[in-house]
Structure 1
Amino acid sequence: MPYFTDKQTVLEDIFSRYPQTEQGRRSALMPLLREVQNALGYVPEAQMEEISTLIGTTATEVKSVMSFYSTYHTIPTGKWHIQVCATLSCALAGSDALWDDLTETLETVPGEVTPDKLFSVQKVECLGSCGTAPMLQVSDIGYAECVTRKKLHTLLEHLKNGGEFVPDTRVPVFMQGGQQLDALENEVGGRTADLEPLPMPG
């Protein structure tokens, strides 16, 4: 069943943020993907097709955009989706050993969800916190930074026992009305309207 059939108000809100042009409709791709993933935990094939029709593009293009961002998932994930940064800074700081420890402890691999539905794992490219390597991201909430083996196991036990993830740094996700928001829709940073225009050369 199409996801957006009974969500016309949601569609109107998303499309209202962009110019009413062909390119403007295509600009709504990422918020539409986010809407589906927030509700379902991932973006199924049927919803990729649905979104492509809504914005006037192809499902192949939608998949291409999704493949560029590690935050979009094409398969179901656990309640806590743990993404370990594997690029150079984190690798030099021990992310490979962290990854091995994580997958062995949870007895899972990418593409699987633990039997209790709590965890899934993914190795990703740079998450933009090289100065706090090794680090990982939990779902779309935020980062755990300078992660040691002890810190990892403390975090896993906390989440297994029903605790909530308290990030060292929250992940900014999208702009709304010129204001950057995090995954919990808390305002972060300044508004784009408050920025001074760049001086023109000459």
Structure 2
Amino acid sequence: MAVFTFDMEANREKIQAFRSFIDDNRLRKGVLMPVLQDAQSRFGYLPKEVLEIVSKELRVPMSEVYGVATFYSQFTFIPKGRHDISVCLGTACYVKGVETVMQALERELGIKAGETTPDLQFSITPTRCLGACGIAPVIAIDGEQYGNLTPEKLKATLDKYR
């Protein structure tokens, strides 16, 4: 798995705005969840450095911040790639062979489901259902659906985004 470095200096303005959000909301009951949601929205993921800011500013132990962030599936500790590939894992897609499509996707990109390529170009996001059972197996890249996929068709589909 790739290791991503959060650049504090490059994100200085976002961090200042985030600290202001915390200041404006610190007295709210149950503030930790909205603060984590704001961080996720603002930074695209929850880097360790941002979790440390949350812990320090809210005076909440890091273990509690991390506990909440790991409990809810809406939070991620890995930045999303420029192109997010949702892979439908619903029943129809499984029956039609999505497992071989997923294996081909992982081989092609050199990452596993739930990961992001080191160049931050692609992420693979397993999804319960994309609601396109009639064209199974299906993936969505940045929301655009591609159905009746085979491992052979996958490379041409990805090439549109490279």
Aligned to 2:117: 113
Q: Is the 8 A contact 2:88 2:130 kept in 1?
A: no
Write out per-residue CA displacement over residues 96-153 of structure 1, whole angstroms, 9 at most, x where no aligned residue.
1211221233344344626x5533434x241442535433243xx3242424236533
Report which of the two has the higher share of helix. Answer: 2
Structure 2 Cα separation of the partners of residues 55 and 26 of structure 1: 12
TM-score, structure 2 normalization = 0.63
Share of identical aligned residues, percent? 18
Aligned to 2:100: 97
Structure 2 Cα separation of the partners of residues 109 and 26 of structure 1: 28
| Partner SS for 2:159 | helix
| Partner SS for 1:159 | coil
Aligned to 2:51: 48
Matched letter for residue 136 of structure 1: I
| Partner SS for 2:84 | strand
Count of residue correspondences:
147
TM-score, structure 1 normalization = 0.53
| Partner SS for 2:37 | helix
| Partner SS for 1:91 | helix
Report which of the two has the higher share of strand. Answer: 1
Structure 2 Cα separation of the partners of residues 15 and 130 of structure 1: 44
Q: Is the 8 A contact 1:4 1:11 kept in 2?
A: no
Q: Runs of 4+ in structure 1 displaced over 6 angstroms?
A: 13-16
| Partner SS for 1:22 | coil
Higher relative contact order (CA 8 A, sep 6+): 2
Q: Unaligned regions of 5+ residues in structure 1, if any?
A: 161-202
Alignment RMSD (CA, Å): 3.7
| Partner SS for 1:81 | strand
Structure 2 Cα separation of the partners of residues 154 and 99 of structure 1: 15
Gap change, CA 1:157 and 1:131, over 3 Å in 2 = same
C-alpha deviation, 1:52, in angstroms: 4.7
